[in-house]
Structure 1
Amino acid sequence: MKLEKIFPVCYNKRERIRSTAMQKLLTDMHTHSTFSHDGRDDLKTMLNCAVQKGIAFYGVSEHFDFDYDYSKMPQELRTKLYNTDEEEYFHAARHIQEAYEGVINVAIGAEFGYSDDEKVQGRYVSTYEKYRPDFVINSVHGVGGVDFAYAVITGDKTTVYKSYLQLVRRSLDAPYPYDIVGHIGYVARYVPFEDRAFSLGEFGEELDDILKTIVQKGKILEVNSSNKNLETRTIPCKEIIQRYYELGGRKVSFGSDAHFQERILEKRDEVVEMLQEIGFTEITVPFRGEHIKIPL
Structure 2
Amino acid sequence: MTTKLPADYHLHTHHSGDSSAPMKDMIESAISHGLGEICFTEHMDMDFPVFKDVPKDTFTLIVPPYHDEVSFYQNEYKDKINIKYGVELGLQPQIKDINRKFINDNDFDFVIGSIHLVDKKDPYYYPDYWEKENEDQVIARYFELTIECLQDFDDFDVLGHLDYIVRYTPSKGANYSYDKYKELIDEILRIIIKKGKGLDFNSKALFYGGSPNPNPDILRRYKELGGEIITFGSDAHVPEGIAGAFDKMRDIALSCGFDHYYTYEKKTPSAVLL
TM-score normalized with structure 2 length: 0.90
1:275 is the counterpart of 2:253: yes
Counterpart contact for 1:109–1:136, Cα < 8 Å? yes
Inter-partner Cα distance in structure 2 for 1:65 and 1:194: 24
Aligned amino acid, residue 108 of structure 1: Y
The aligned counterpart of 1:246 is 224
SS at match of 2:204: coil
1:261 aligned onto 2:261:
no
Q: What SS does the corresponding residue of 2:10 show, helix, strand or coil?
A: coil
Deviates more, 1:86-95 or 1:27-36: 86-95
Which 4+ runs in 1 deviate beyond 6 A? 228-231
Contact 2:6 2:232 in 1 (8 A): no
Residue 12 (structure 1) aligns with: none
Comparing 177-186 with 126-135, greater Cα deviation is found at 126-135
* Identity fraction in percent: 28
Matched with 1:9 is none
Amino acid at match of 1:54: G
Letter of the aligned partner of 2:179 in structure 1? G
Q: Which letter maps to 1:276?
A: L
Of 195, 203, 208, 2:181 maps to 203
Counterpart of 1:69 (choices 49, 61, 68) is: 49
| Backbone CA RMSD of aligned residues | 2.2
- Which protein, 1 or 2, shows the higher relative CO under an 8 Å CA cutoff with sep ≥ 6? 2
In the alignment, which residue of structure 1 is the partner of 2:39?
59
Q: Which residue of 1 aligns with 2:76?
A: 99
Task: Provide the residue aligned with 1:139 in structure 2.
Answer: 114
State the one-letter code of the partner of 1:114.
L
Change (3 A) 1:76 1:38: closer
1:173, 1:55 → 2: CA distance? 35
Paired position in structure 1 for 2:124: 149
- Flag structure 2 segments of 5+ consecutive residues without an equivalent: none
The residue correspondences of 1:1-296 to structure 2 (distance < 5 A) are: 24=4, 26-70=6-50, 73=51, 75-78=52-55, 81-117=58-94, 120-151=95-126, 152-153=129-130, 154-175=132-153, 177-193=155-171, 195-227=173-205, 232-296=210-274
Q: Please give the secondary structure, in 1, of the residue aligned with 2:151.
A: coil
Q: Confirm or deny: 8 A CA contact 1:232 1:238 kept in the other structure.
A: no
Of 22-31 and 163-172, more deviation after overlay is shown by: 22-31
Q: How many residues were matched structurally?
A: 271
Preserved CA contact (<8 Å) 1:189 1:228: no
Give the distance between the partners of 1:176 and 1:201, measured in 2 at CA: 27
Q: Which moved more, 1:202-211 or 1:227-236?
A: 227-236
Q: Any gaps of 5 or more consecutive residues in structure 1?
A: 1-19
CA contact (8 A) 1:189 1:230 kept: no
1:223-259: CA deviation from partner (whole Å, max 9, x where unpaired):
1011178875301111111111111112111100000
Aligned residue for 1:37, secondary structure, equals coil
In 2, Cα distance between equivalents of 1:80 and 1:67: 8
TM-score (norm 1): 0.84
The alpha-carbon deviation at position 176 of structure 1 amounts to 5.0
Tell me the distance in 2 between the aligned counterparts of 1:194 and 1:253: 24
CA distances 1:46-81 after superposition (whole Å, capped 9, x unpaired):
1122122221110100000002121xx2x2443894
SS of the residue corresponding to residue 234 of structure 1 reads: coil
Q: CA deviation at 1:142?
A: 0.7
What is the Cα deviation at residue 286 of structure 1? 2.2
Distance (Å, rounded) in 2 between the aligned partners of 1:147 and 1:228: 21
Could you tell me how far 1:284 is from its partner in structure 2?
1.2
Aligned-partner residue type, residue 213 of structure 1: I
| Structure 2 Cα separation of the partners of residues 265 and 194 of structure 1 | 23
Q: Distance in 1 between matches of 2:204 and 2:229?
A: 19
- Judge conservation of contact 1:188–1:197 (CA < 8 Å) in 2: no
